């Protein structure tokens, strides 16, 4: 075997070790939820939580935290489960989240997320 080739292979394996987490493909729900969270961040819409309007970046951060917590505690089987359980209502107050985009009309976050999910699934 060529020494240079062997050294290159050893270097690559050292720099990029394969772990079980890296080898596992994302589930459909994880892919869809990642898409929805990305859409929240880039939407430019405002998100209402507990009566206060927040930026899309703040909403992205908040819902990402809820996603990570939910995934760690009980796992997520479907995107719809994430939407209904974590992304529609405040855990603190029980008030529904709302979204207000460029047209100024507020809708529930559940409706907004379901619409975005339908859009994603049509591609």
Confidence of residue 26 (pLDDT cuts 50, 70, 90): confident
Q: What total of structural domains would you count in the chain?
A: 1
The 3-state DSSP class for residue 47 equals strand
Per-residue pLDDT, 7: 38
Is residue 18 domain-resident?
no
Please say if the pLDDT value at position 96 is more than 60: yes
Residue position matching structure tokens 């507990």:
50
Q: What is the mean pLDDT of residues 79-85?
A: 96
pTM higher than 0.85: no
Q: What is the DSSP string of 87-112?
A: SSB-TTT-PBPEEE-TT--EEEHHHH
Is residue 6 domain-resident?
no
**Euclidean distance between the first and final Cα of the chain, in Å?**
47
Is residue 63 domain-resident?
yes
Q: Choose among 103, 94, 88, 106: nearest CA to 36.
A: 88
Please say if the pLDDT value at position 68 is more than 60: yes
Is residue 17 domain-resident?
no
Residue 107, domain extent? 23-121
Is residue 113 domain-resident?
yes
Q: What is the mean pLDDT of residues 83-92?
A: 95
Is residue 44 domain-resident?
yes
């Amino acid at each position: 075997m060529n020494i240079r080739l062997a050294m290159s292979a050893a270097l690559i394996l050292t720099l990029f070790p394969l772990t079980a987490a890296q080898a596992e493909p994302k589930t459909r729900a994880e892919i869809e939820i990642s898409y929805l969270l990305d859409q929240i961040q880039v939407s430019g819409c405002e998100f209402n939580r507990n009566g206060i309007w927040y930026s899309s970046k703040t909403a992205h951060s908040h819902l990402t935290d809820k996603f990570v917590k939910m995934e760690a505690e009980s796992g997520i089987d479907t995107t719809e489960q994430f939407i209904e359980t974590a992304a529609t209502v405040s855990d603190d107050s029980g008030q529904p989240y709302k979204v207000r985009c460029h047209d100024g009309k507020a809708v529930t976050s559940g409706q907004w997320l379901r619409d975005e999910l339908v859009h994603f699934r049509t591609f």
